[in-house]
Copies of this chain bind each other. A is one copy, B any other.
Amino acid sequence: MTDEQRTFAFVVYPGFTVLDLVGPLQVLSALANTDQRYRVVVVGETLDGLGTDTPLGVSPSHTFADVPAPYALLVPGGGVPTMRALSHEPLLAYLRSAAAGAELVTSVCTGSLLLGAAGLLEGRPATTHWMFRDVLRAFGAEPVARRWVEDGPVITAAGVSAGIDLALHIVERLAGTEAARNVQFGVEYDPQPPLGPLDWSNPPFGPLRPLREQVLGEGLADNPELLEKLLAHA
């Protein structure tokens, strides 16, 4: 690493949705492997191993304190554990201070709610997992139904797998079309969903309000003030 390297800090916290992180981590690691201007790290509050929303455990490469001023931040989302993290001040404090000097502040899925809780989405268009899109209003953001939403330095992506598209867009933005194409071939991203694209005229799971209330209620049981604020938009 050199002083001139631009560091992408991928943020982890207990129980996050692992594909939210790993999709863009794989893509941006491929960039860093071929372009010495970039460096990728995984940052956590400590170096301890963490659980995810799957049986895979993970461990960060650096602490928040090790990487106070990254070039770019990426924040993954999740379900109940992410709602819990909305009240975890050490995480929010890192997001605020790291974002202040960052050129890119990005999220995948409900990671955008964490950006919102850190006060970073006020007045911005943004997106998140489709089930939680309306909740963004609680943080002063304007919800947008797109794969990713770019507002200057802040880019938020839709749910889970959208982080791969986000990351390829970032590679294109930073290093150009040829670099993005090479990375896309490297991870052989030529998607063929067996059932085709999602049919947004007919999403499953019935009314979303009770589902959202349950996830928010369980995750924010210890923070009734924030819970009330979010439920007003759920």
Contacts and interface: CB of A to CB of B under 8 A. Distances in A.
Given A22-B19, A54-B40, A189 B160 contact: yes
A57 B58 contact: yes
Interface stretch (A83-91, A95-103, A117-125, A193-201): A193-201
A177 B203 contact: no
A11 B25 CA distance: 20
A46 interface: no
Given A57-B59, A58-B56, A204-B182, A19 B187 contact: yes
Contacts of A26: 17-19, 54, 160
A195 B180 contact: yes
Place the interface of chain A in its size category. Answer: 35 or more
A192 to B, nearest CB: 4
A190 interface: yes
Contacts of A10: 55-56
Give the number of times this chain occurs in the complex, counting copies. 2
A49 B190 CA distance: 31
Given A58-B56, A59-B58, A159 B172 contact: no
A207 to B, nearest CB: 14
Given A57-B59, A57-B61, 19 more contacts: A10-B55, A18-B22, A18-B25, A29-B54, A29-B55, A42-B54, A56-B59, A160-B189, A161-B191, A162-B188, A164-B191, A165-B191, A177-B195, A180-B194, A180-B195, A181-B195, A184-B193, A190-B197, A191-B197
29 contacts: A10-B56, A19-B25, A19-B26, A21-B56, A22-B22, A29-B54, A29-B55, A40-B55, A41-B55, A42-B55, A49-B59, A56-B59, A57-B58, A57-B59, A57-B61, A158-B188, A159-B186, A159-B187, A159-B188, A160-B186, A161-B191, A165-B191, A168-B195, A181-B204, A182-B205, A184-B195, A189-B193, A189-B198, A190-B197
